[in-house]
A and B are shown apart, each in its own frame.
Chain A
Amino acid sequence: MTGSRPAGSPRPSLGRRLRGRQDRNLWFWVFVGPFVIGLVVFVYVPIAWSIYLSFFESYNTVTPTTFVGVGNYVDMLRDPAFRNSLLTFLAFAVFIVPTTFVISLGAALLVARTRVMQSFFRSVFFLPTACSYVVAALVWKMSIFSGIRSGLANAVLGWFGIDSIPWLSLAEPPWYWLVIVTARLWLQVGFYMILFLAGIQRISPTLYEAAAIDGAEGWKVFRHITLPQLRATSTAVLLLLLINAFQAFDEFYNILSTFGTYPPYARPPLVYLYYTALGSGQDFGHGSAGAVILTLIIAIVAVVQGRILRLGDRGD
């Protein structure tokens, strides 16, 4: 099994050498090849093509001829609607990431502590993760937060003698955020709770015992044992949450769009670009330029976050 060939044996053929020891090269490509091809065809080629399109005027065509340089980028950065959508999504990320983090960590701590029906609580919180964003969005829009008296939220308000609120119709006050945020929390919290729960259960009980002997309890234990021990999990959760916030589309689109139109508020960049490039607009030049700008922003934020959290440090 060492691979050194016996002296005097003939030099192996080219094909055999290309295949490598024990056909390793061959098998490498058999197993990895299809995924590489898929990745190239469905990810890298479209990305490269999109960058190419972003420098052309390409209405209703993906093989454009009119080169416009950085014109599309200038247009997009000047477009107040696009700038607004970038702000929307930064504000959304700044709010939703810590909120989901705290709530799912809290839920995990509570579930880890309970002595009764632990698996029941675990499943109950986790279950919404299995629900599709679209279905949840429609349930939120049509039954929980419908604007009429019989909608669930308004029915509850009605018990206290409060007038019905058309949650999704009003721009002031922005009740639509309540609808979007609660839908997302309901869908996501369970998943991150399970991640935290796994992390908590890996913390050695001896640490807690030692702390108890030293007289630490409650908040101190959490602050000095649980939280530091969850560092790796927390980093992963933060990164996943951030990526998820950047990808915001499904629930926004399904909750707020009406009959092909979308209001000018709470419009994340992906929704705006969807209407620009993929809707009846078919303006791939500006759409691609917007997508590249968005990608750059996400890359910068990810790098900064990685630096701050020292992602990938040894020992994590």
Chain B
Amino acid sequence: MSDKEIGRGIGQALGSHLSRRSLFALGGAAAVTGALAACGGNTGREPAATGGATGGGGGATLNQWYHQYGEAGTQQAVERYAAAYKDATVKVGWKPGDYDQSTAASLLTDAGPDVFEYGNGPTIDMIKGGQVVDLTDLVGDTKSDFNPSILERMTYEGKTYAIPQVVDMQLLVYRKSLLDKAGIAPPQTIDELIAAAKKLTQGNVKGLFLGNDGGAGLMGGPMLWSAGLDYLTEDNQFGFDDPRAATALGKLREMWDAKVLLLGAPKDWFDPSALTAGLTAMQFTGLWTFPDLKKGLADDFGVMAWPALDGSGKASVPVGAYGSCVSAKSKDVEAAKKFAKWLWIDQTAYQLDFATAYGFHIPSRTSLIGQATTLKEGQAAEAAKLATDVGHAQSPILWTPKCATAFGDAMNRIVKEGADPAGEIAKVKTVADAELKRVLA
């Protein structure tokens, strides 16, 4: 039999047993199964009856999304908070992977969350696109209690679009013993930092670790602030069309050329292992590494802000926070706002628990920092003080992803290829001016 004949034979055999009606019934069933399979993915939209390990009282059903926090117990904690809420059933969505991207995409559909966290609050295009609602009235009187630079970052034209959940920060960490051995005091200016890094570079130990790209991705902002400049000016103009900015960014290339930077570490700047394994004497990293630093180095580490370029610059530490936002597509915006206020404004005990009991963060409410036992003494207390005193939001809200890409490209060329900083800044300005014109239109 040829293939065709076999096919025909099967067709006949089936045809004789299935009437058209039963076939359509079958097809219908298949279609329904397909639809269920398509919708059954983790959209976080299952009705409360079938969903939720979590959920509290009656009323509306709300979906609240978090990215996957690495620390054990965080998921159970947020589920516990959600279950304690009585005015609505809250279902927690715990999202591994590219959280920012998938959440941004889900906001385009009806399958998105009601309440969700987003890094440094919603993007300017989410606000302008009307995807998130104004939460100014929720913050109300507590406004003065939040870390000012963080709350400012989540505010656009006087309206606040997110409630800061916990503050994270980056800072310079150094091995005390190595600095002592080399007879160096913690550097106060960028030039002192370069001199120290040169002195500390010995054998297999490098002086400074700013990430495997030599700080191109991480240090752009801190270098601008160290020169007393910023991405944007107060009145939202391009902020670093200035020879001092070129000097500051050029300093990173100077470090690169001096071969004092650790490059190609197995784990990048956000992990403390380069410092604990003795690959570098100083590292720019996050507050979240402190438990591991303590374990690896005991008390042999000190903390400081990124130094000022010179006398007329400013020392700084970048601070950032996940902000809790409410989707405009929520079926019950008022209930969602009420829940966001309940958890992130009213329930200070939960906020403290969330910030300190699992990972190592700073509460976003200044009044809670004093109550955080983890931040009471030692390096952690110094770090928390730096965040409040010289904390600087990572980038302004109008600094769109396109600006960030252009700036990142420029930083890469300056640091890795030795491109002329002034010329690269001019290129960024072209992109940023067009973007500012677009978003401010």
Binding site for B on A (CB under 8 A): 15, 19, 22-24, 26-27, 30, 34, 59-62, 81, 142-143, 145-149, 151, 164-172, 258-259, 261-265, 275-276, 278-283
Contacts and interface: CB of A to CB of B under 8 A. Distances in A.
B211 interface: yes
Interface residues of B, number: 49
A195 to B, nearest CB: 25
Contacts of B279: 148
11 contacts: A26-B23, A60-B123, A62-B108, A145-B264, A149-B204, A151-B266, A168-B264, A169-B264, A258-B268, A259-B218, A263-B213
Contacts of B264: 145-148, 151, 164-169
A282 B104 contact: yes
Interface string B154-178: 0000000000000000000000000
A280 B401 contact: yes
Contacts of A34: 30
Interface string B404-430: 011011001100111000000000000
A254 B295 CA distance: 30
B270 A259 contact: yes
B415 to A, nearest CB: 9
A8 B191 CA distance: 105
The list of the 8 closest CB pairs from A to B, nearest first, reads: A147-B264, A166-B263, A166-B264, A171-B416, A169-B263, A264-B409, A281-B401, A60-B129
Nearest to B122: A60
B368 interface: no
A81 B125 CA distance: 22
A170 B415 CA distance: 10
B129 A172 contact: no
A258 B212 contact: yes
B101 interface: yes
Interface stretch (B7-15, B182-190, B222-230): B7-15
B39 to A, nearest CB: 14
A39 B263 CA distance: 46
Nearest to A263: B412
Contacts of A282: 104-105, 123, 125, 401
Contacts of A62: 108
Interface of B: 8, 11-12, 14-15, 20, 23, 27, 30, 100-101, 104-105, 107-108, 123, 125-126, 128-129, 131, 204, 211-214, 216-218, 263-266, 268-270, 279, 400-402, 405-406, 408-409, 412-413, 416-418
A261 B104 contact: no
Given A146-B266, A281-B402, A171 B417 contact: yes
Nearest to A275: B405
Nearest to B102: A278
B191 to A, nearest CB: 23
A60 B402 CA distance: 13
Contacts of B418: 172
A107 to B, nearest CB: 31
A59 B129 contact: yes
Nearest to B405: A275
A81 B409 contact: yes
B263 A60 contact: no
Nearest to A172: B417
A263 B265 contact: no
Nearest to A257: B217
B101 A60 contact: no
Contacts of A258: 211-213, 217, 268
B265 A148 contact: yes
Given A22-B8, A263-B412, A60 B104 contact: yes
B179 to A, nearest CB: 22
Contacts of A276: 402, 405
A19 to B, nearest CB: 8
B416 A166 contact: no
B416 A170 contact: yes
B11 A24 contact: yes
Nearest to B212: A169
Contact of B11 (A27, A142, A147, A168): A27
A155 B405 CA distance: 35
A30 B263 contact: no
Contacts of B20: 15, 19, 26
Given A148-B265, A264-B413, A280-B101, A169 B213 contact: yes
